[in-house]
Amino acid sequence: MDNFLNEYLSPGTRVLVTGGGGFIGGCLVRRLLTKSNAQVFNLDKCGYASDFTSIEEIDYGHRHHLFRVDLVDGDSTTAAIKKADPDLVFHLAAETHVDRSIDGPNAFVFSNVIGTYNLLEGVRTHWQSLPKQRKELFRFHHISTDEVFGSLGDSGSFTELTRYAPRSPYAATKASSDHLVSAWHHTFGLPIVLTNCSNNFGPWQFPEKLIPLVITKAMTGQSIPLYGDGSNVRDWLFVEDHVDALLLAAIKGRLGQSYCIGGFGERSNKQVVELLCELMDERQPELAPHTDLIKLVSDRPGHDHRYSIDSVCIQEELGWKPQHTFELGLASTLDWYLAHIPWCEKVLNRAGYAGERIGA
Ligand code: TDX
């Protein structure tokens, strides 16, 4: 991957990442800064889940340019695109937490739908004004989720051909953004690639999603909320493997194509939580068994039963496969959180979130 990046991103290539203060965006920014000589323009609204500690920690030789911009503001977005003058755009900025979209769908419609529209319009104007050679190489990569496909029963997997059937406000706004991106390709010829990933996990994830939330609860001996009966299944993808896939798809993917990226890590929530408890027992035996902390709580409204991704297309076409097993990725993620308790406290305090139940 490292040689690959240097081969395709010549020094000075201008890469615009929206949402580079987020969990997946941050991982992508770090990779671009450490494994290529690209100039990285990070457009982030610096919302509750944005944090730049991981980027500030690395020596990036002044190639990281942070623009505090909310994509909902069309004029600021256009101005930032002009300044960044990008050759490649990764669009990750979004509101992403399903539970928050139940309590407050408004922010999701604005950020994910209007924000994507403003970005597309700004990028289209920029792309059309580029000189021939840069215009031919230009790409816009939209990062989306498997939730746009809805909920699976106990068998089958999502593929690039699966019909859209979003069921949460969050998923509906991401589906809308996918459709906008696809329309800008078909109507205006904007050179796009789109990816739909499964649930990511790894270091630096804001502790509101299942895995970091359970870890922070278990570390402090608080009860661990398991929605419904814990039988819902997710397909877990280690964030660094996801970033490998994003870079391959952006650089080598076919224009107009979407690629599904899954982790080969299907587990029920109960299995995930119990495994985390086992790992905690080894690291914090005085509080064992941590499974005593698990508490079944009322289910999420409209809770999707199962997500599963068939990654054959990206594997066969682009040669991607995940490098981390779920178990090893989970253990290293847990150890990372145990070593970064002050960071967890800092981001939770700043966001005014103490791990309470939302979206019930
Ligand atoms: O406290 C909890 N207890 C619990 O049982 C939380 C926060 C979650 N859950 C369950 C709900 C889900 O079945 O765990 C599962 C995972 O929940 P989340 O981490 O909230 O993720 P999910 O709802 O699956 O959505 C995720 O997948 C696709 C991400 O939040 C999205 O951003 C991504 O696009």
pTM score, whole prediction: 0.98
> What average pLDDT does this structure show over 108-122?
98
According to the model, what pLDDT value does residue 3 have?
76
Give me the residue spans of the domains in the chain: 2-200+236-263+303-325
According to the model, what pLDDT value does residue 12 have?
87
pLDDT band at 340 (very low <50, low <70, confident <90, very high): very high
Supply φ then ψ for residue 294, to 5 degrees. Answer: -70, 130
Query: By the 8 A CB rule, do 223 and 292 touch?
Result: no
According to the model, what pLDDT value does residue 20 have?
98
Write a three-state SS string for 208-258: CCHHHHHHHHHHCCCCEEEECCCCCEEECEEHHHHHHHHHHHHHHCCCCCE
> What average pLDDT does this structure show over 157-172?
98
Is 146 noted as a catalytic residue in this protein? Answer: yes
For the cut 70, the answer to whether the pLDDT of residue 222 exceeds it is: yes
* Third-level CATH fold of 2-200+236-263+303-325: Rossmann fold (3.40.50)
- Give the active site residue among 44, 95, 117, 170: 170
For the cut 70, the answer to whether the pLDDT of residue 2 exceeds it is: no
For the cut 90, the answer to whether the pLDDT of residue 7 exceeds it is: no
Pick from 24, 97, 170, 234 the residue to mutate for probing ligand 1's pocket: most ligand atoms within 8 Å of its CB: 234
According to the model, what pLDDT value does residue 115 have?
98
Atom of ligand 1 nearest to the CA of 307: 24
According to the model, what pLDDT value does residue 6 have?
83
Q: What is the DSSP letter of 9?
A: S
Pick from 112, 210, 297, 309 the residue to mutate for probing ligand 1's pocket: most ligand atoms within 8 Å of its CB: 210
Distance 210 CA to ligand 1 centre (A): 5
pLDDT band at 225 (very low <50, low <70, confident <90, very high): very high
Q: Which amino acid is at 69?
A: V
Residue 169's Cβ-side half-sphere holds a number of Cα atoms within 13 Å equal to 19
For the cut 90, the answer to whether the pLDDT of residue 355 exceeds it is: yes
> What average pLDDT does this structure show over 4-28?
94
Query: By the 8 A CB rule, do 304 and 151 touch?
Result: yes
Give helix 74-84 / helix 115-128 axis angle, nearest 10°.
40
pLDDT band at 5 (very low <50, low <70, confident <90, very high): confident
* % the chain with pLDDT above 70: 99
For the cut 90, the answer to whether the pLDDT of residue 19 exceeds it is: yes
Atom of ligand 1 nearest to the CA of 224: 1
Give Cα 223 to chain centroid, integer Å.
27
For the cut 80, the answer to whether the pLDDT of residue 61 exceeds it is: no
Could you give the CA distance from residue 57 to residue 165 in angstroms, rounded to a whole number?
A: 40
> Which residue's alpha carbon is at the smallest distance from atom 28 of ligand 1?
199
Give Cα 154 to chain centroid, integer Å.
25
Exposure of 177 by Cβ count < 10 A (0-12 exposed, 13-18 middle, 19+ buried)? Answer: buried
Could you give the CA distance from residue 173 to residue 169 in angstroms, rounded to a whole number?
A: 6
Atom of ligand 1 nearest to the CA of 357: 1
Residues 6+ apart with CB under 8 A from 272: 210, 211, 214, 234, 236, 330
Distance 250 CA to ligand 1 centre (A): 26
> What average pLDDT does this structure show over 13-37?
96
86-102 per-position pLDDT tens digit: 999 999 999 999 999 99
Residue 175's Cβ-side half-sphere holds a number of Cα atoms within 13 Å equal to 16
Pick from 95, 111, 269 the residue to mutate for probing ligand 1's pocket: most ligand atoms within 8 Å of its CB: 269
Strands 14-18 and 39-44: what pairing? Answer: parallel
Does the beta carbon of 145 sit less than 6 angstroms from any atom of ligand 1? yes
Distance 208 CA to ligand 1 centre (A): 9
Does the beta carbon of 235 sit less than 6 angstroms from any atom of ligand 1? no
Task: Identify the CA nearest to 238 among candidates 27, 20, 18, 22.
Answer: 27
How many CB atoms sit inside 10 A of residue 32's CB?
27
Does the beta carbon of 340 sit less than 6 angstroms from any atom of ligand 1? no
Is 147 noted as a catalytic residue in this protein? Answer: yes
Is 292 noted as a catalytic residue in this protein? Answer: no
Atom of ligand 1 nearest to the CA of 300: 11
Distance 98 CA to ligand 1 centre (A): 7
